[in-house]
Structure 1
Amino acid sequence: MINTITFLTQVTVSEQDVVTPFEQNLMVAMVFAIMFGLGAGLTPRDFKLAIKRPWGLVIGWLTQFGIMPLLAFTLIIIFLWQLPMEYAAPVALGALLMGSVPAGTTSNIFTYFSKGNLALSVIMTTNSTLWAILMTPLVLALYGRVLFADNEEFQIPITNIVITLFLLLIPVVGGMLIRRYSANIGAFLELMGGFFGLFFIVFLLVTWVPRNWELLAATPWQTYTVAIGLGLFGIAIAFTIAKLLKLHPMNVRTIALETGIQNGPLALAIVLLTFGGTPNVGLILIVPALYSLFIVLVSTAVTFWFRRANVAEEQKIPNLL
Structure 2
Amino acid sequence: MLQRFTSLFPIWAIVLSGIALLYPGIFLPYKDAIPFLLGLVMFGMGMTLALEDFLLVFKRPKAVVIGTVLQYALMPLIGFVIARTLSLSPELTAGVVLLGCCPGGTASNVICYLAKGDVALSIVLTSVSTLISFIMTPLLTWLYIGQMIDVDMHGMLVSILQIVIVPVALGIGINTVFASRIDTVRHSFPAISVLTIVFIIAIIMALNRETVISAGILIVVAVILHNLLGLASGYGLSRLMGLNEMEARTIGIEVGMQNSGLSVALAIKHFTAVAALPGALFSIWHNISGSFVASYWAERNISE
Shorter-chain TM-score tier? 0.7 to 0.9
1:125 is displaced (CA, Å) by 0.5
Deviations 1:104-137 (A, max 9, x none): 1111111111111111111110100001011111
When residues 182 and 18 of structure 1 are mapped into structure 2, their CA distance, relative to the original with a 3 A threshold, is: same
Counterpart among 76, 79, 84 of residue 86 in structure 2: 79
When residues 246 and 308 of structure 1 are mapped into structure 2, their CA distance, relative to the original with a 3 A threshold, is: farther
Contact 1:17 1:282 in 2 (8 A): no
When residues 214 and 137 of structure 1 are mapped into structure 2, their CA distance, relative to the original with a 3 A threshold, is: closer
SS at match of 2:247: helix
Equivalenced residue count is 280
Counterpart among 263, 273, 281 of residue 290 in structure 1: 281
Q: Unaligned stretches of 5+ in structure 1?
A: 1-15, 82-87, 149-153, 276-280
TM-score (norm 1): 0.79
Counterpart among 53, 62, 65 of residue 58 in structure 1: 65
Opposite residue 255 of structure 1, the aligned amino acid is: I
When residues 234 and 223 of structure 1 are mapped into structure 2, their CA distance, relative to the original with a 3 A threshold, is: same
Counterpart among 237, 243, 251 of residue 241 in structure 1: 237
Counterparts of residues 168-179 of structure 1 (less than 5 Å): 168=163, 169-179=165-175
Counterparts of residues 1-321 of structure 1 (less than 5 Å): 20-25=28-33, 27-81=34-88, 88-146=89-147, 148=148, 154-168=149-163, 169-185=165-181, 191-203=187-199, 215-275=211-271, 281-311=272-302, 314=303, 317=304
Per mean C-alpha deviation after superposition, the further-off stretch among 171-180 and 98-107 is: 171-180
Contact 2:39 2:167 in 1 (8 A): yes
TM-score (norm 2): 0.83
In the alignment, the residues of structure 2 paired with residue 160 and residue 174 of structure 1 have an alpha-carbon distance, to the nearest angstrom, of 22
Opposite residue 183 of structure 1, the aligned amino acid is: A
When residues 43 and 94 of structure 1 are mapped into structure 2, their CA distance, relative to the original with a 3 A threshold, is: same
% identical aligned pairs:
27
In the alignment, the residues of structure 1 paired with residue 199 and residue 137 of structure 2 have an alpha-carbon distance, to the nearest angstrom, of 26
Contact 1:41 1:190 in 2 (8 A): yes
1:270 is displaced (CA, Å) by 1.4
CA RMSD of aligned residues (A): 2.5
Q: Unaligned stretches of 5+ in structure 2?
A: 1-23
When residues 189 and 139 of structure 1 are mapped into structure 2, their CA distance, relative to the original with a 3 A threshold, is: farther
Contact 1:40 1:187 in 2 (8 A): no
Q: Which is higher, the Rg of structure 1 or of structure 2? A: 1
SS at match of 1:246: coil
1:213 is displaced (CA, Å) by 5.9
1:220 is displaced (CA, Å) by 4.7
Contact 1:41 1:187 in 2 (8 A): no
Deviations 1:149-206 (A, max 9, x none): xxxxx21111110110111210111111112212135656753442233224543677
In the alignment, the residues of structure 2 paired with residue 187 and residue 111 of structure 1 have an alpha-carbon distance, to the nearest angstrom, of 23
Opposite residue 238 of structure 2, the aligned amino acid is: A
Contact 1:18 1:282 in 2 (8 A): no
In the alignment, the residues of structure 2 paired with residue 202 and residue 225 of structure 1 have an alpha-carbon distance, to the nearest angstrom, of 21
Opposite residue 29 of structure 2, the aligned amino acid is: P
SS at match of 1:92: helix
